[in-house]
Structure 1
């Protein structure tokens, strides 16, 4: 199938619903033209709470150029993410935001096409490649953290590191002189995803994003012939080289265009979401010195005669802390879908063609599921505390067929990062640092999270 460059051009998409078809759903259309976009983008958790308190767990909202119905709570997450009846399209949900930027990202594919490409991509996340990545990540993180120290803006430092690590693991090469330009291209793509002007007009964020995509796609496509010949990427164990040689169920290689689009999306996801999550966790550990010390003690208890990469499963408290950071600040605060058929939820009949969203960040702070929800408490994730909790109450990686393919890679990278960081430094932070965050498209602290890294004796 050829992927269109604008979401209106996809012939299989359902037509837009007229606004009156959702008039029976309680809600707020907001201001003329912009709707509720500004309120939503500035603080989605607060916005979701206010809408819930006023309208309940099902409400109508107009933002980012369209009218949608938001469904809140674990039952809503299960309905939309598990999607046992194939009611919801991810492609048509994300498309209006991302089709100009990531038109063939795995997240934008549905059903059989999604299953086929996911199967092809999954070859790079099997145990042997993951062991290869772990060795490279361990060395890269150790080397970079040894250069840190004193005062730094953590978000900026970790973003550069995660991009370099993604290049090493997924591309098998150093980005070299092009690193800054490639990083800026990813920044421009991601920022364009929530641009208020959705057409690539001159001087707009969307225009910058579309130009950035063109640059990155050209970069990947120029590399593909050499990767297929095994001429680049060292021993060919990197993701890009494996993917260039992979075949589908019919024994056919994916097209260069498909590979380039998948790599563009994967590289963005592999460093931007981890950058956000690592920043959240380090901020929380800096604010909670007792937990920083507990993790340091856990890391110190590992066997000094064994490679760190072979002992990551023993870092149980570190895993709990990362999960709690993802609860408090999920890297994707909400997920859009589009209803392919009429359905009912919460006592409301919702017609086919409706844009549907679920509020992950809101669900992660429901007080009846997470007592004292704003408190950092990794022990929420012990087996005892988790018993009986709704399985869709915590969904930072999504769920169902679209569960994040790289979740184990992210967990592995985070444990290695925290192990090396806390072995070398005590992390300190001033009051107020990291208080203000830009939540969309991917959460980041507006001040870059200034911290101090104090070398341990």
Structure 2
């Protein structure tokens, strides 16, 4: 059992911890950083959590000491069910091997293609918005984001199938908040 002391911070209320403050206050992390420093404890989404902020923390976690951190255990249980055996949840040699296979998709010519595709889809959406005159901005931006992700990640053309996937995507946050049940 590791008996190292926890960093300063607050675990908040029993069960909910500081989740309500985290969800309501967009300056949650910055306020705690000012109060406790770049490393602090809190309790979010039913999990005790240590937050490490800043470039030194990023290097420590992502480069020099990554073997001490579990990517898989950092995700909520609903994400583990949703993401399955995805790269986000792999660790160690399995993660390195699969990441190496995927890296070409995120460099050089592939990125140039992505930017062109994103630019075209954004321009189409903006033209459509201008024609409509008045739009529900948040909903339209979410649809545009989904169209970009769908086109780039799934290779799907915009159409009925994409519209159905978009509805599922829209329902996802509600499902996750409800525990990710089959009928959520």
- Same fold flag (TM > 0.5): yes
Of 57, 60, 67, the match for 1:79: 60
Cα-Cα RMSD: 3.1
Counterpart of 1:122? Answer: 103
Q: Does 1:34 align with 2:8?
A: no
Counterpart of 2:180? Answer: 206
Counterpart of 2:152? Answer: 169
| Paired residue secondary structure (1:69) | strand
Of 138, 145, 150, the match for 1:155: 138
Q: Classify 1:147/1:109 alpha carbon distance in 2 versus 1 (closer, same or farther; 3 Å).
A: same
Q: Classify 1:128/1:206 alpha carbon distance in 2 versus 1 (closer, same or farther; 3 Å).
A: same
Counterpart of 1:88? Answer: 69
> Following the alignment from structure 2 to structure 1, what is the Cα–Cα distance between the partners of residues 32 and 101?
41
| Paired residue secondary structure (2:134) | strand
> Following the alignment from structure 2 to structure 1, what is the Cα–Cα distance between the partners of residues 156 and 66?
43
Counterpart of 1:319? Answer: none
> Per-residue deviation at 1:205?
4.8
- Do 2:38 and 2:54's aligned partners in 1 also have CA atoms closer than 8 Å? yes
Q: Classify 1:189/1:104 alpha carbon distance in 2 versus 1 (closer, same or farther; 3 Å).
A: farther
- Do 2:150 and 2:162's aligned partners in 1 also have CA atoms closer than 8 Å? no
> Per-residue deviation at 1:107?
2.2
> Following the alignment from structure 1 to structure 2, what is the Cα–Cα distance between the partners of residues 78 and 205?
33
> Per-residue deviation at 1:128?
4.2
Larger strand proportion of the pair: 1
5 Å matches for 1:183-332? 183-193=166-176, 195=177, 204-207=178-181
> Per-residue deviation at 1:34?
1.1
Structure 2, gaps ≥5 residues long: none
Q: Classify 1:83/1:53 alpha carbon distance in 2 versus 1 (closer, same or farther; 3 Å).
A: same
> Following the alignment from structure 2 to structure 1, what is the Cα–Cα distance between the partners of residues 35 and 122?
47
Q: Classify 1:172/1:73 alpha carbon distance in 2 versus 1 (closer, same or farther; 3 Å).
A: closer
Structure 1, gaps ≥5 residues long: 1-16, 196-203, 213-457
> Following the alignment from structure 1 to structure 2, what is the Cα–Cα distance between the partners of residues 125 and 25?
36
Higher relative contact order (CA 8 A, sep 6+): 1
TM-score, normalization by structure 1? 0.35
> Per-residue deviation at 1:54?
4.2
Q: Classify 1:66/1:163 alpha carbon distance in 2 versus 1 (closer, same or farther; 3 Å).
A: closer
> Per-residue deviation at 1:165?
2.9
Counterpart of 1:101? Answer: 82
- Do 1:163 and 1:183's aligned partners in 2 also have CA atoms closer than 8 Å? yes
Counterpart of 1:424? Answer: none
> Following the alignment from structure 1 to structure 2, what is the Cα–Cα distance between the partners of residues 106 and 79?
21
> Per-residue deviation at 1:185?
1.9
5 Å matches for 1:334-353? none
> Per-residue deviation at 1:99?
0.6
> Following the alignment from structure 1 to structure 2, what is the Cα–Cα distance between the partners of residues 73 and 127?
28
> Per-residue deviation at 1:136?
4.0
Larger helix proportion of the pair: 2
Counterpart of 2:38? Answer: 57
> Per-residue deviation at 1:38?
0.7
> Following the alignment from structure 1 to structure 2, what is the Cα–Cα distance between the partners of residues 159 and 168?
14
